[in-house]
Structure 1
Amino acid sequence: MRTRSGRFATIDGLRGIAILLVVWFHVWQITWQSAVIPVVNLSLQPLAETGFIGVALFFFISGFVLMLPYAQAHAERMPPPSLRQFVLRRFFKIVPSYVLCIAALIAIGYQTYPNALAALRDVAFHLLFVHDWFAATSGSIDGVMWSLGTEVQFYVLFPPIAYAFVRRPAMVALAMLAVAIGWRAWCVASDHYFLSQRMQQLPAYLDFFAAGMAGAWAYTAIALHRPTIARRTWAFTALSIAGLAGIVAVAGAYYDHRFDPEWPNRSEPYLRPALALAALAAALGSLFAIRAFQRVLANPALLFLAAISYNLYLWHQPIARELERLHVPPIATADPHDDRVWQIAFWFVAIPAAIAISAALTYAFEHPLMRWGKRFETRRSRAAQRRHAEQRHAELVEAPPQS
């Protein structure tokens, strides 16, 4: 099931779930609003308090989306996307909105500095996407931006990884899994002062990127070469449901240990591989599931959240924090967590505000730039094709006749 733009709708549905979890988690951190549905006495508190797993789901989806065109090109014996195409697409998707957010948050005083040198260092490290390497800058400007460092660092490594993956997919995926597990084990065994920061760095999430890449590879192999398997839609539906249930189960396992020292980092070494496997099952199963299930997972609300997910990810926390600082809506008690009316009202103010601003930035800023970048990419690609054709023609003309 694809959207009009050719994207996989169920993968975008998972993206919508991921951003929903992240936003829910950060707003819960501000309000402490209970997530129990009173009529049926159903507690969604584990999802509210462990919404950080949405970031890991984003990494999984990135691995899938990045790998898919390479897997398809390899399967169809076609040339893969060029390095120029890869760089341009990632640049126009990530950098402009990121830079705008940094500039705006510093301009309004959301992030302040004691001196110009500290400001220069912080901004420079963020623009180089290495801010998550250093404790002083890992959580600065906008707390969620640490993941952009992890993401872009993976982009730098991706072309050679993709080259190796299409030739030895199992070996490369297992190597990435081994690095991730080894890194997390080293983090737990080493100096715990930097434990949280190190658990957010690229090596600690390589298994999620690997799982996404494996999902793209498996989808391509099944869709192109195993049509009899692809027709087992009920089995794939069950697989996707099991994967979604697995994600909820992992959230519950995190939640059960929330009072442990250094939570959630102590649980990461064994829960992250389980979460990556659950994400793989949910995504791969959804791509071949029955249409009714696909429509549920790729419903209009989740697709809309997926469409604005990048800007919503960047902006939701600063918007919510500024509203809290400005007492919008008004707080009637000394401790806002004792004001039940404020807790509920805050959701009805902060969430619509974040969605409205993110949607405006997505459709008025991000998408126009991406369309311009695509036209630029197309022009450069056509020019390169013409140069290649002219060079080939010259070679044929100048070549000596064969006897």
Structure 2
Amino acid sequence: MRATRFPALDGLRAVGALAVITTHVGFHSGASLSGPFAGILARLDVGVAIFFAISGFLLYRPHAVAWFEETPPPTTRRYLRNRALRILPALWMAVAAAALLIPHKTDVTWATYVEQAMLTQIYFQGAAADGLTQMWSLATEAAFYLCLPLLARVLVGREPPNRRNIRRCLAVICGLILLGPVWMATVNVTGHPQAGLWLPGYAGWFAVGMGLALWQVARTNGGLAPTALDPLARVPGTIWTIALGLLVLAATPLAGPYSLAASTPGQAFVKNLLYTVIATCILLPAVEPTQQVSRVLGGRVGRVAGDISYGVFAYHLIVLGLVERISGYRLFSGHVVLLLVPTVLVSAAVAAASYYGLERPIMRRGRRDKSYDVSPTTGDSKASAQPNNTAP
């Protein structure tokens, strides 16, 4: 199976990481709870939805390609090995750094850090370890990694990819998109907040990436006639403006409180669905990118930013905590930019050192191929073929 690159996804991964950092800085500075930009800062956790959609696209697409080309799908053993090589080194380094550098609460024990290292913390009650609270989303993504091979097999089935079967797959994916909002609303009704961190609540965010992967492969192979998505993909400015408008809508009380306080079932439903649509709007122009989009998001800067984005995600709360301790908490009260700039710069430096000094060598050694392209992207059909590696 010929692997291709989607260079614009590099830049989008960096955008998602920056959004996640900004929303956490907003909460730490207090600006996400009050002030003129509180709503937008609080809703920049939509970066997680962007990450999940990219993962859904990149990880499901090889299965869709194999279906259309009538070739064997990716082997589960190799796929899981590559996933482990990609996420575990930085995860374990972050867990060790948090345990050593960030003062922990009295109810945080060694077992807490073991759960974080095993990505099982979302299934247990207990205090979260400071510096690692963002890792709930990585635990949810790991659950998606485990489910994907079986889900892809169910979607593809044994029949050829004719239009009827393609529409059937898309219908199932649409069902997954609706599962997320319904699950989150139900969690709020039943009063089981821990279940709000589990995979079903975010199935729609992964599913939009999977749907776009199937759409892109089917369009490329003539399995689908032109759809309404085709012209939208060619006007990135328009669809990204729509995404911005939806983000502004999400910043209203329709999507619930800005804090971690419980929302109503309706607010949980609306927020999850809005984030699903926003992630779709953000991802679509990068799936069928114009030359300008490829140049802006997929250039050298974008590629490096995409390479280190996972490390930025993994380390930024540790960096944020250290910056606050060293400089003094009062200095940053209400000042987002003062806290954001050093956090982003130091996190990027730490992530670069981790990627080039630790993560990439481990991936190359683990795959036993020093020439392997370990950047977390695949690319567009005009790029040269390279081995496929994917998100986060």
Indicate whether the TM-score tops 0.5: yes
Preserved contact between residue 233 and residue 289 of structure 1 (Cα < 8 Å): no
Aligned residue pairs total 352
- Kindly indicate whether residue 1 of structure 2 is the aligned counterpart of residue 11 of structure 1: no
Distance 2:302 2:76 in 1: 31
SS at match of 1:49: helix
AA at the equivalent of 2:68: A
Output aligned runs, 1:37-48, within 5 Å. Answer: 46-48=39-41
Greater alpha carbon shift after TM alignment, 146-155 vs 279-288: 279-288
Q: Percent identity over the alignment? A: 23
The offset of 1:295, in angstroms, is 2.0
Map of 1:388 onto structure 2: none
Deviation string 1:148-181 (CA, Å, 9 cap, x unpaired) is 1101111111111010122352243134234323
Asked if structure 2 preserves the Cα contact closer than 8 Å seen for 1:286 and 1:294, the reply is yes
Q: Cα distance, 1:241 vs. partner?
A: 3.6
- For residues 111-160 of structure 1, the C-alpha deviation after alignment (integer angstroms, 9 at most, x for no partner) is 3555xxx6342133223322012231556551111111101111111111
Question: Is 2:190 aligned against 1:182?
Answer: no
Whether 2:270 is the aligned partner of 1:273: answer: no
Question: Corresponding residue for 1:292?
Answer: 292
Contact 1:243 1:280 in 2 (8 A): no
Structure 2 letter corresponding to 1:360: A
- One-letter amino acid of the counterpart of residue 87, structure 1: L
Q: In the alignment, which of 54, 64, 72 is matched to residue 65 of structure 2?
A: 72
Alignment partners' CA distance in 2, 1:371 and 1:309: 19
Greater shift, 146-155 or 105-114, is seen at 105-114
Larger displacement relative to structure 2 (344-353 or 180-189): 344-353
What pairs up with 1:191-340 in 2 under 5 angstroms?
191=191, 194-195=192-193, 197-225=194-222, 229=226, 235-238=232-235, 240-257=236-253, 265-266=263-264, 267-327=267-327, 336-337=332-333
Unpaired runs of 5+ in structure 1? 35-42, 380-403
- Distance in 2 between residues matched to 1:50 and 1:78, nearest whole Å: 42
Partner of 2:144: 154
1:317–1:140: structure 2 CA closer, same or farther, 3 Å change rule?
Answer: closer
Does residue 1:372 correspond to 2:362, yes or no? no
Residue 33 of structure 1, CA deviation:
6.1
Match of 1:56 in 2: 49
User: In the TM superposition, what whole-angstrom CA distance separates every residue of 1:226-278 from its partner, at most 9, and x where no partner exists?
Assistant: 69859x9765222x444423332232122222657866844331232233234
1:31-73 deviations in Å (ceiling 9; x for gaps): 3569xxxxxxxx8765433211101111111111110111111
2:161 is aligned to none
The residue type paired with residue 132 of structure 1 is: I
CA–CA separation in structure 2 for the residues paired with 1:142 and 1:176: 28
User: Is the 8 Å Cα contact of residues 113 and 129 (structure 2) preserved in structure 1?
Assistant: no
Superposed, 1:13-32 pairs within 5 Å as 13-32=11-30
Q: Counterpart in 1 of 2:377? A: none
Q: Which residue of 1 aligns with 2:134?
A: 144
In the alignment, is the contact (CA less than 8 A) between 2:14 and 2:306 conserved in 1? yes
Q: Match of 1:136, as an amino acid? A: G
Residue 205 of structure 1 aligns with an amino acid whose one-letter code is: Y
Residue 385 of structure 1 is matched in structure 2 by: none
Any conservation in 2 of the 1:237–1:286 contact (CA below 8 Å)?
Answer: no
The letter for the 2-side match of 1:7 is R
Kept in 2, the 8 Å contact 1:247–1:278? The answer is yes
Deviations 1:81-108 (A, max 9, x none): 1011111110100111111111121122
Distance 1:165 1:137 in 2: 38
Letter in 2 for 1:11: L
Rg: which structure is higher?
A: 1
Q: Distance in 2 between matches of 1:134 and 1:297?
A: 39
Higher relative contact order (CA 8 A, sep 6+): 2
* C-alpha displacement of 1:6: 4.6
Superposition RMSD on alpha carbons, in Å? 3.1
Q: Which amino acid aligns with 2:201?
A: A
Indicate if the aligned counterparts of 1:244 and 1:279 stay in contact, CA closer than 8 A.
no
Query: Unaligned stretches of 5+ in structure 2?
Result: 158-167, 373-392
Instruction: Tell whether the 8 Å contact from 1:33 to 1:344 is kept in structure 2 after alignment.
Output: no
Q: Distance in 2 between matches of 1:108 and 1:140?
A: 10
Question: Aligned letter for 2:186?
Answer: W
**Cα offset, 1:376, TM superposition:** 6.7
The structure 1 residue matched to 2:78, chosen from 85, 91, 100, is: 85
Question: How far apart in 1 are the matches of 2:181 and 2:340?
Answer: 37
- Structure 1 contact 106–112 (Cα < 8 Å) conserved: no
In the alignment, the residues of structure 1 paired with residue 20 and residue 147 of structure 2 have an alpha-carbon distance, to the nearest angstrom, of 26
- What amino acid maps onto 1:122 in structure 2? T
Q: How far does residue 288 in structure 1 lie from its aligned partner after superposition?
A: 2.5
